[in-house]
Structure 1
Amino acid sequence: MRPHIVTEASVPTRLSQWWENIPFLTSTVVFVCGIIYFVCLLVGYDSFGEVCFSPSDIVSRFQVYRIYTSILFHGSLLHVLFNMMALVPLGSEMERIMGSVRLLYVILLLATSNAIFHVLIALLAAHNPINSYEYLMNECAIGFSGILFSMIVIETSLSGAQSRSVFGLFNVPAKWYAFILLVVFQLLMSNVSLLGHLCGILSGFAYTYGLFNFLLPGTSVYSAIETSSLLSSCVRRPKFIVCTGGNSSGYIPTHSSENSSSSGFLSGNLWRNLSSMMPQREVSTQQPVQDNRFPGRGRTLGSDHGQQASALSSDSNLQARLLDDNNSGHPLDSSTLGTAQQISDGRQAGSNVTTAAVGVPQHQGAVASDEKIKKLVSMGFDRTQVEVALAAADGDLNVAVEILMSQQS
């Protein structure tokens, strides 16, 4: 008999599988930065003063291209290796959430904001009347690490963790995680741009707390870019991640900006986001526990005003769907139309559902139907679907539940 042989995938196979799991934009950035470094190494190019980020050249000569060329060039093999190894997990996670086109725009936005913060701080430090720091204006910085520090802040806010581990040695509060990394890198490595990394952290916090929301386009803009003929070859690639439209506000959801709109900076959300950073006294609030058997968001029983508004909205939505079905060539049966007409007429008369057909007084039948509707709505079902299902089930609660569950499945 042949012995049992355990074979393992070779190193090239594992590297190929690892590379295929990296999304399109992240792998493209890694490839471009690696190729640029090795080309510079082969041709002996070391004049980084022409492409680095220099505040004095940007201010005096208006060489804006340095904002974007500086993030693609690296000074040594360890420099590009460490930066790209850090980019792969951070960029992959953000790209899977945001999409490839949206992440590209966010990277450009972060690079621009990093440069603005860098120039402003350098100008303030250089023209400080107490103690000026002229060398900050002549600093020449290159590398992708400024963007990485912004991504670290955004990813930390996205995770919602209360603490993070620094190299597996000790835990620090999540809010100070990026600052601790900044201090550690500054102590362990030489020739590191403190101001460049600090500006990356500031840009990350500005993005997280909604200061850039007014600069972020909606989902339709990203979708239009993805459907253009220029990106047709890229979109067809399996690693390309399309913006699905789940985040209509155009920015990555975080624990502090999850429910804010894209115009939060202009609509007063700035103060609310900044106030969330201040220490506050903990207040215990009882929140309803959601049962996994009944998906959806429950509604509080007894909120008459909210239910009346929801009833009017569901009534208009039901009538709109009925009109659309009639106009599209798919006529509804007479029972459904009759049910919808009964619901509409009943609401106009001051009750939710008419029950005169079963021989019950109108007021008592309306109360009984309201109780059934409230029970089903509290289970997470849509009110309009609940009303139609109850009408189709002749008021039988169990049959209505079966109808609603079959519609969701």
Structure 2
Amino acid sequence: MRPNIVTEAGLPTRVGQWWDGIPFLTSSVVVACGIIYLVCLLVGYDSFFEICFSPSAVLSQFQVYRIYTSIFFHGSLLHVLFNMMALVPLGSELERITGSVRLLYMIILLATSNAIFHLLIALVVAHNPFHPYLFLMNECSIGFSGILFSMIVIETSLSGVQSRSVFGLFNVPTKWYPWILLVVFQLLMTNVSLLGHLCGILSGFAYTYGLFNFLMPGTSFYSSIEASSWLSSCIRRPKFILCTGGNSAGYIPTHSSQNTTSSGLLSGNIWRNWSSWMPRRESFAQSTQDNQRFPGRGRTLGVVQSQTVSADNSDSNLQARLLDNSSPNHSLDVAATGTGQRLSDGRRQAADNPAALVPARHQGSVASEEEIQKLVSMGFERTQVEVALAAADGDLNVAVEILMSQQG
């Protein structure tokens, strides 16, 4: 008997499965940032002065495009890798909850609010009457980390957990988690924009506490975008998540967006509240398609079938396989010849009436336990021994020949 061989998936397969599990918008941002970094690396572009977020350039020359171009550029390989590795779990979780289009709107909103906070703080610091500090006005910031800090605040504030681990080293209270990360990054890394990360945290808290709710459109807005023809090619992709939730306000739950009489958001039941409007995919059509592609005998756990019928069908199928695979060229003695005639008759009977196989098993001679154990001791499986003995009407020699023909 050939043993069952189980092989583990290789690295390319695992990477492909991991990538297929990342939703559409999150994977698109990762690809866009990666391609932009590679192009800049190949052409030798490393100044980023034309695309970075600079408060002085935005205010004096009204270069508003810098708010959005700066988030897709990164200064080093470590910079882009670290940001994208943080984006994959955060963005995937939020996209599965909100939908792809709603997450895109959230990213645009967070990028805009980060820039507004950045401009306000830079202006206040630069024009304070005590000690003007103009460095922040001329700071050139790039990277997706500002939005990542906003996502961290949103996720930690609404997850319901009481503590978070900082790089697996120590745990901190959830409300302090983004601030601890801000301090750790500032101390361990060089050339890090403290104001950019700080504004990301402020935007995250503003979003979490519902200060941006008046800017959030309803679900009809997202539905109209998803129904547009120019987005149809993206919607057809399997990783695209539709905004099919039941939240009529069009935004994810915040501390002030839900009914104040309910304390679910603050008591750790946030995931149950989100699950009521979490985007769901239709499984009936997919199940039908899978059944057409794999027309096997598999069934779900909820299907109730008779165990006796299943066992009898399995035995009859195994018996039929044993009979059909019998070698016609095998030399038999006189008794085996007579038995072969009986097997042929049984095969014709099974063809005329398949259900007669199982009753025929009980009509023949019943094999004794001693005969079964004798054949099992020869290396055959007990199930095959019982079926072979039933097919041979209890004739031990014929059963051995049937089993040997299977081995051959």
TM-score norm. by structure 2 comes to: 0.63
1:341-368, Cα deviation, whole Å (9 max, x unpaired) = xxxxxxxxxxxxxxxxxxxxxxxxxxxx
Rg comparison, structure with higher value: 2
Q: Residue 257 of structure 1: CA displacement?
A: 3.3
1:116 is the counterpart of 2:116: yes
CA distance in 2: counterparts of 1:10 and 1:62, whole angstroms: 51
Structure 1 residue identity aligned to 2:120 = L
Whole-Å Cα distance in 1 between the matches of residues 251 and 188 of structure 2? 34
Which residue pairs with 2:142 in the alignment? Answer: 142
SS at match of 2:72: coil
Corresponding residue of 1:259: 258
1:129 is paired with a residue of what secondary structure?
coil
Question: Could you tell me how far 1:245 is from its partner in structure 2?
Answer: 3.0
Q: Does 1:171 align with 2:171?
A: yes
CA distance in 2 between counterparts of 1:160 and 1:131 reads 42
- SS of the residue corresponding to residue 49 of structure 1 reads coil
Distance 1:171 1:248 in 2: 37
Q: For residues 259-278 of structure 1, what are the structure 2 equivalents within 5 Å?
A: 259=258
Q: Counterpart amino acid of 2:258?
A: N
Aligned counterparts of 2:40 and 2:163: Cα–Cα separation in 1: 40
What secondary structure, in the 3-state scheme, does the structure 2 residue paired with 1:171 have? strand
The secondary structure found in structure 2 opposite 1:70 is helix
- Per-residue CA deviation, residues 112-139 of structure 1 (Å, 9 max, x unaligned), is 0000000000000011111111100000
Provide the secondary structure at the position in 2 that maps to 1:164.
strand
Aligned residues: 265
Q: Deviations over 1:136-193 (max 9, x none)?
A: 0000000000000000000011202222111122221211110110000101100000
CA distance in 2, matches of 1:6, 1:48: 51
Cα deviation 1:10-41 (Å, max 9, x = unaligned): 11111111110000000000000000000111
Paired residues for 1:361-376 under 5 Å: none
Residue in 1 aligned with 2:83?
Answer: 83
Q: Is residue 166–residue 172 contact of structure 2 (8 Å, CA) maintained in 1?
A: yes
Superposition pairs of residues 290-369 of structure 1, within 5 angstroms: none
Q: What is aligned with 2:191?
A: 191
SS in 1 for 2:37: helix
Whole-Å separation in 1 of the counterparts to 2:212 and 2:163: 26
2:312 paired residue number: none
Name the SS of the counterpart of 2:171 in structure 1.
Answer: strand
- One-letter amino acid of the structure 2 residue matched with residue 99 of structure 1: G
* CA contact 2:96–2:241 (8 Å) conserved in 1: yes
- CA contact 2:98–2:245 (8 Å) conserved in 1: no
Name the SS of the counterpart of 2:138 in structure 1.
Answer: coil
Q: Which residue of 2 aligns with 1:245?
A: 245
How far apart, CA to CA, are the structure 2 residues paired with 1:115 and 1:146?
9
Scaled by the length of structure 1, the TM-score of the pair is 0.62
Distance 1:95 1:61 in 2: 35
CA distance in 2, matches of 1:207, 1:39: 34
1:36 alignment partner AA: I
Unaligned stretches of 5+ residues in structure 1: 261-268, 283-295, 297-409
- Cα separation, 1, equivalents of 2:14 and 2:256: 38
Give the partner amino acid of 1:211.
Answer: L
CA distance in structure 1 between the partners assigned to 2:186 and 2:222 by the alignment? 38
Question: Aligned equivalents of 2:256 and 2:239: distance in 1?
Answer: 28
Q: C-alpha deviations, 1:23-64, integer Å up to 9, x for none?
A: 000000000000000011111111301100100100111100
Q: Which residue identity does 1:13 align to in structure 2?
A: T
The reply on whether 1:103 has 2:108 as its aligned counterpart is no
SS at match of 2:164: strand
How far does residue 3 in structure 1 lie from its aligned partner after superposition?
5.8
Question: 2:72 corresponds to which residue?
Answer: 72
Q: How many angstroms apart in 2 are the aligned matches of 1:119 and 1:14?
A: 44
> Aligned residue for 2:28?
28
Letter matched to residue 127 of structure 2: H
Structure 1 residue matching 2:131: 3-state secondary structure: coil
Q: Is the 8 A contact 2:213 2:257 kept in 1?
A: no
- Equivalent residue for 1:52? 52
Shift of 1:250: 1.4
Asked if 1:162 is matched to 2:173, the reply is no
The aligned counterpart of 1:132 is 132
Helix, strand or coil for the counterpart of 1:191? coil
Separation in structure 1 between the aligned mates of residue 256 and residue 123 of structure 2, nearest angstrom: 31
Query: SS state of the match for residue 49, structure 2?
Result: helix
Q: Following the alignment from structure 1 to structure 2, what is the Cα–Cα distance between the partners of residues 187 and 6?
A: 48
Q: Which runs of 5+ in 2 are unaligned?
A: 268-275, 277-408
Structure 1 Cα separation of the partners of residues 212 and 171 of structure 2: 30
* Cα separation, 1, equivalents of 2:5 and 2:221: 54
Kept after mapping to 1: 8 A contact 2:90/2:151:
yes
Deviations 1:350-390 (A, max 9, x none): xxxxxxxxxxxxxxxxxxxxxxxxxxxxxxxxxxxxxxxxx
Query: Is the partner of 2:63 in helix, strand or coil?
Result: coil
Q: Is residue 86–residue 148 contact of structure 2 (8 Å, CA) maintained in 1?
A: yes
SS of residue paired to 1:9: coil
Residue type of the partner of 1:61? Answer: Q
* Moved >2 Å (runs of 4+): 1-6
